[in-house]
Structure 1
Amino acid sequence: MLAKRVTLALLAVRALSALASPVEHFTVQDSDRHQVSDSMCSDTESATAPTQNPEVRLDDGLFVGYRKGKTDNFLGIAFALPPTGDRRLRPPQPTRPYVGTHYVQEYGKSCPQQALTLPNAGDSQLMKDIGKVVDTLYEGITPSDEDCLTINVVKPSAAKPGSKLPVLVWIFGGGFEIGGPSTYDGATVVSRSLDLKQPVIFVSINYRLSALGFLPGKEVKDAKVGNLGLQDQRLALKWVQTYIEEFGGDPKKVTIWGESAGAISVSLHMLANNGNQEGLFRGAVMQSGGPIPVGDIEHGQQYYDFMVKETGCTHQPDTLDCLRKVPYNTFKRAMDASPNFFAYQGLVLAWLPRVDGVFLTEPPQYSVLRGHVSDVPVITGNCDDEGSLFSVSTKNISTNADMKDYLKLYMMPNAKDSEIDDLLVHYPDDPRAGSPFDTGLKNMLSPQFKRTAALQGDFVFHGPRRFFLKYRASKQNSWGFVWKRLKDTPFIGSAHATDLINSFGPGGELRDYIIRFTNNLDPNGREGLGIQWPKWDPAKPKALILQESALFPLIIGDDNYRSRALDYVANLSIRYPI
């Protein structure tokens, strides 16, 4: 039993987008690959194939990658000037034309990571196990550096300029606080795409995090330097438009794909520029993320003031300029001292995309209601128990009064008492109605744990997804899914990010659907492979359910769970954005 719990803990932690670090990559064994005769890989599997490193010329620069199986990998290519020195806390600037020879065979450094701390494990053996694994993995993260804006390209070895392959751009998650692309092995996706005879090129990008990427406050708004992490991503998408043809890609066939913070980022790229995607992408895939309920960037003023105080910039005439000039270690120590997503406030994150007047000009829900959305096909889904991992820190919430005080203090400080009372009617003090869902009286880590987990998961993940589909699925082709596997994991169930195992691991049905979607703008492809996945219909919503069943691992089920509760959550979110 202990071995099983440790294994589950490893799976949960390893799946966390927050731990997207250069530890062990997900890999697909050769025995798991199907033999195909597609011409795109016909000359790459031979034992006598040449082993010289692949090369790509960009501008006047020669980039030398490495070959892995049927794929060529080009890693750590700079797509922006280093955001260091006076470029700290400023929008990214594109690189100058490339010259010289560049060996791009290793991932670039991660962008500076916010220190991660787990809540007190108490008597939970599972959380103790996870805590040990987190400590071990976090110590092994590739050294971070402010000079981190790099991009990675993995292509079929036979792809060349003129191949015009569809492109899948991956945006990692990590709560906008930690993470990186290096754990997500794009070669597994590209290899599988060749097996399916649906070849794609895989691109992954770095972007600034925490206070360096998402600093809020009036000073930031006035200087027009908000949402720098999103601006990094946007510049990377423009790099793809400029250079992907040299790798054999088609800049007109780009799909953006993300999980957690990456999926939220995908949704916000769909809303930016009043919904005009500027030809940067033609499809979007969101795993555990959507148009979150955030408001004006000044709502985070307390975190700007915290950084100013902790770095010693309080009495400087220009505090933003001071933050640019303080030593990196001083800035990093202050950033590490700020709340992370395992803090008591949970998913009311310190460092979030917010309405800055430049990248985002209105709250995301407003954009959805007004139709300021990129009209592209969409896949969007959630894990069933999104809020469980982030509610372990709230074990001391034990009564109705505690629950109300918590919501009033963090999630909805401006809401009326009567509105919070009504909200709690939709989320009753009954563990059988809480998360992990459908587990009865099990998983009661504390009296209010399952209730808190349900609320947090619905506010940040389930609510935004269903809100988007409710108002957009009749206007743009959309497909929904719900991940219900690993439900027997103690306390956390089908937790946030556990679906990543299916996206990048062997035998991943989600990965196959996403590959076909990238090629055909339809997850079913043109051959109807796998179980037929219907479009989401507001009149009769259906979703793909990935469940723990040997006979029926995939089913099509109703996507109308907690409808009244999620509608109420959406209404409160519009009135009281974070």
Structure 2
Amino acid sequence: MISQALCISLWAISASAFWPGLSNEAHGAQIPVLSPSAESVSATAELPFVDLGYTKHRAISNPNPDLYKFQSIRYAAPPTGDLRFRAPQPPVDNPTGEVEDGRGRKECLQAMIKWADNFPPEPCDDCECCEEDDNYGGCHKPCDSGERGKAPPKQLFGGFEPAFNLTNPNLYSEDCLFLDVWAPKAAFDGEQRKPVLVWIYGGAYVFGGKSLYFPGGLMDRAMVNDRGGMIFVAMNYRMGALGFAAGRDIEDRDINAGLLDQQKALQWVQDHIDKFGGDPNQVTVVGLSAGGGSVLHHLTAYGGQKGALFQRAISLSGGWQPVTDQTTAESTFREFMTKYNGVSTLADLRDLRKVSEAQMMQANFQQIQSAPPASFLYNPTAWGDFAPESPAKLLNNGEFLHDVQLILSHVFNEGGQFAKSFKEQGTTVPGFLDLAFPNVTKDEKEWILETYHTGYNDAEDIARIIGDVTFRCHVTYTSDAKSDHVWRQRWNTVQSRAHGGDLLYLFYQPLVPVASVRAARILQDYVATFVISGNPTTTITNPSGFQQPAPYHQYSVDGKVQFFDSGILRFPNVWRGDAELEDLCRVWQQISCT
């Protein structure tokens, strides 16, 4: 059994990859503004509105003449008062009857942690383009001539540093269950219904928001070569204590409220996306890090016994390690109640549901900010109706949605960023194992040491352990469980080899600096064509002297993985899967949070 220190959130810290792209709607970010602010524009009579039954919602103006943005549509009732720590409920009717446009609505309560300040290192600022250090994501040498571009800006967890107050009540609220819909204008012209891509952001299940990402570049790739376009949806969901508290006095049906919020948004898509010109029978869900882990939780939700709310799924560096030790999960929530809120008992949540939003915001922030290294405290728990077991166990048992088509991806160095905090403290591999794996057997511990402990660099060894058990093996577990329609990727290019680096490629647009525009366009092609047809392909050609991209083979057919590696002549290439990793992951599946 993996301990809370590792099992609780060594993943999914990439939501910050677009902090400067946050819309002014919620965060007041200054540069670059990728998503237009509702406050900076006014809705006009020329913009369409959609009647959802419980409310009418109008699009807002935005600089892209080919897209409509419907901002901050309510998809569930405010989870406040008696609905705090409960599963989301249907939205109530708009009492005014006026057409809404989503202005002034906020993101969910969230927090960051102090130990995050320890990494990653500064990228270079004196070279056109730089390649990340193999260990911790920093720049150490010029990149290949075929991959030249701009040096990435200063980043946090594969992205940009947040520069705003996470406890500002003008930006964050418990009343946050909103979603955005981006639709091509052609979707309102009576043409064929468009496929839908639903984005779930990452952020270690403690921070992030729907407004972090501007999908314009990705949506553009869905319209080239007569592809027809797609609709993009992004939702907020509860995080931290509000979204992932677990305890015996929380009803089973209410545990993992953050995942239930996501499910509610997916159900909303089924019920309403046709009003925006979308096809509810062509829905793809995609997420990176905590978002990718969420995708895999939806794949295994209810042990695969309920109907699917999506037909395709993309999990990028999907991170999960549910706390199978329910005592640990309850202890974390008890600390939240007693130490930070002064509520003395778990027997009755009524007092906690009466605590003010301001106090809840501070309590959530303070507890998570004080988390020990490599821990975010809150994450999905294997408890309750939605997640009766960990995804690893459910996948191994065949208890998942078998008909969903999948793209699975990880980067080369998933664990380096997390291991740096242990390097700063001088933690040895044996010391790390005592912290992260206190309940493993003697034989299991000896296997880990023999497999990973080289004796040369403890931080690198710890990085390999974290990367395998928390991210890379999840790709293996899932692809091995599926018998068909699975595609796999591994990223090891300039700027993408550290955890979260591929997010910059997924949401590439001219305002976002990336080391390889070609790699970004190929990834966007794969995603767009997968959403539209279920068959990931690209029309991007390689520059002179490089071979054309290899066809994207199904892993489930021939065991081949699409490799995005710097310097190879055939980019991306297709190689056989990593046999060593496959063998390691089979052992980890028996040891880890299963």
Give the TM-score normalised by the residue count of structure 1.
0.81
Equivalences for residues 172-183 of structure 1 within 5 A: 172-183=201-212
Query: 1:407 maps to which residue?
Result: 433
Rounded Cα–Cα distance in structure 1 between residues aligned with 2:486 and 2:160: 37
Q: State whether structure 2 residue 360 is matched by structure 1 residue 331.
A: yes
Query: 1:211 maps to which residue?
Result: 241
Return 122-131 or 354-363, whichever deviates more.
122-131
Query: 2:230 maps to which residue?
Result: 200
Query: 2:421 maps to which residue?
Result: 393
CA deviations on 1:22-71 (whole Å, 9 max, x unpaired) are: 3456859xxxxxxxxxxxxxxxxxxxxx9932322222643211353211
Say which of 448, 473, 485 aligns to 1:463: 473
Please state how far the C-alpha of 1:415 moved relative to its aligned partner: 0.9
Query: 1:57 maps to which residue?
Result: 51
Please state how far the C-alpha of 1:234 moved relative to its aligned partner: 0.7
Structure-2 change in CA distance of 1:464 and 1:107 (3 Å): farther
- Asked whether the equivalents of residues 77 and 108 of structure 1 are also in contact (C-alpha less than 8 Å), the reply is no
- Asked whether the equivalents of residues 71 and 190 of structure 1 are also in contact (C-alpha less than 8 Å), the reply is no
Say which of 493, 507, 513 aligns to 1:504: 507
Say which of 168, 176, 183 aligns to 1:148: 176
Please state how far the C-alpha of 1:532 moved relative to its aligned partner: 1.1
Query: 2:536 maps to which residue?
Result: 523
Give secondary structure in 1 for the equivalent of 2:204. Answer: coil
Query: 1:570 maps to which residue?
Result: 589
Give secondary structure in 2 for the equivalent of 1:354. Answer: coil
- Asked whether the equivalents of residues 293 and 460 of structure 1 are also in contact (C-alpha less than 8 Å), the reply is no
Query: 2:17 maps to which residue?
Result: 16
Rounded Cα–Cα distance in structure 2 between residues aligned with 1:162 and 1:122: 49
Structure-2 change in CA distance of 1:123 and 1:182 (3 Å): closer
CA deviations on 1:88-120 (whole Å, 9 max, x unpaired) are: 111111113457233426584110011343446
Structure-2 change in CA distance of 1:230 and 1:122 (3 Å): closer
CA deviations on 1:385-425 (whole Å, 9 max, x unpaired) are: 111122221125546xx32232222x222112331121121
Give secondary structure in 2 for the equivalent of 1:337. Answer: helix
Structure-2 change in CA distance of 1:105 and 1:307 (3 Å): closer
Q: State whether structure 2 residue 161 is matched by structure 1 residue 134.
A: yes
CA deviations on 1:528-573 (whole Å, 9 max, x unpaired) are: 99641000048x5211111223854311123215333222222211
The letter for the 2-side match of 1:478 is V
- Asked whether the equivalents of residues 267 and 286 of structure 1 are also in contact (C-alpha less than 8 Å), the reply is yes
- Asked whether the equivalents of residues 290 and 468 of structure 1 are also in contact (C-alpha less than 8 Å), the reply is no
Rounded Cα–Cα distance in structure 2 between residues aligned with 1:25 and 1:244: 30
Please state how far the C-alpha of 1:352 moved relative to its aligned partner: 0.9
CA deviations on 1:444-484 (whole Å, 9 max, x unpaired) are: xxx42111111111111001111111222xx2310000111
Return 563-572 or 245-254, whichever deviates more.
563-572
Query: 1:422 maps to which residue?
Result: 447
Greater RCO structure (CA 8 Å; 6+ sep) = 2
Please state how far the C-alpha of 1:429 moved relative to its aligned partner: 2.2
Structure-2 change in CA distance of 1:320 and 1:530 (3 Å): farther
Rounded Cα–Cα distance in structure 1 between residues aligned with 2:167 and 2:567: 35
The letter for the 1-side match of 2:17 is L
Please state how far the C-alpha of 1:16 moved relative to its aligned partner: 3.1
- Asked whether the equivalents of residues 546 and 553 of structure 1 are also in contact (C-alpha less than 8 Å), the reply is yes
Give secondary structure in 2 for the equivalent of 1:136. Answer: coil
Structure-2 change in CA distance of 1:521 and 1:124 (3 Å): closer
The letter for the 1-side match of 2:462 is T
The letter for the 1-side match of 2:494 is L
Rounded Cα–Cα distance in structure 1 between residues aligned with 2:18 and 2:523: 16
Return 295-304 or 381-390, whichever deviates more.
295-304
Count of aligned pairs: 514
Query: 2:336 maps to which residue?
Result: 307
Give secondary structure in 1 for the equivalent of 2:413. Answer: coil
Say which of 74, 79, 104 aligns to 1:78: 74
Structure-2 change in CA distance of 1:124 and 1:367 (3 Å): closer
The letter for the 2-side match of 1:286 is S
Say which of 265, 270, 287 aligns to 1:236: 265
Give secondary structure in 2 for the equivalent of 1:66. Answer: coil
Rounded Cα–Cα distance in structure 1 between residues aligned with 2:440 and 2:430: 11
Please state how far the C-alpha of 1:373 moved relative to its aligned partner: 1.1
Equivalences for residues 88-487 of structure 1 within 5 A: 88-97=84-93, 100-104=97-101, 106=103, 108-119=105-116, 121=118, 130=155, 134=161, 136=163, 143-160=171-188, 163-198=192-227, 199-220=229-250, 222=251, 224-276=253-305, 278-289=307-318, 292=321, 294-316=323-345, 318-339=347-368, 344-346=372-374, 348-375=375-402, 376-396=404-424, 398=426, 402-409=428-435, 411-429=436-454, 447-472=457-482, 475-486=483-494
Please state how far the C-alpha of 1:192 moved relative to its aligned partner: 2.4
- Asked whether the equivalents of residues 57 and 100 of structure 2 are also in contact (C-alpha less than 8 Å), the reply is yes
Please state how far the C-alpha of 1:123 moved relative to its aligned partner: 12
Give secondary structure in 2 for the equivalent of 1:360. Answer: coil
Please state how far the C-alpha of 1:134 moved relative to its aligned partner: 2.3
Rounded Cα–Cα distance in structure 2 between residues aligned with 1:263 and 1:202: 17
- Asked whether the equivalents of residues 19 and 138 of structure 1 are also in contact (C-alpha less than 8 Å), the reply is no
- Asked whether the equivalents of residues 183 and 230 of structure 2 are also in contact (C-alpha less than 8 Å), the reply is yes
Rounded Cα–Cα distance in structure 1 between residues aligned with 2:45 and 2:53: 25
The letter for the 2-side match of 1:497 is G
Rounded Cα–Cα distance in structure 1 between residues aligned with 2:14 and 2:392: 31
Query: RMSD between aligned alpha carbons?
Result: 3.3
Rounded Cα–Cα distance in structure 2 between residues aligned with 1:359 and 1:461: 22
- Asked whether the equivalents of residues 152 and 205 of structure 1 are also in contact (C-alpha less than 8 Å), the reply is yes
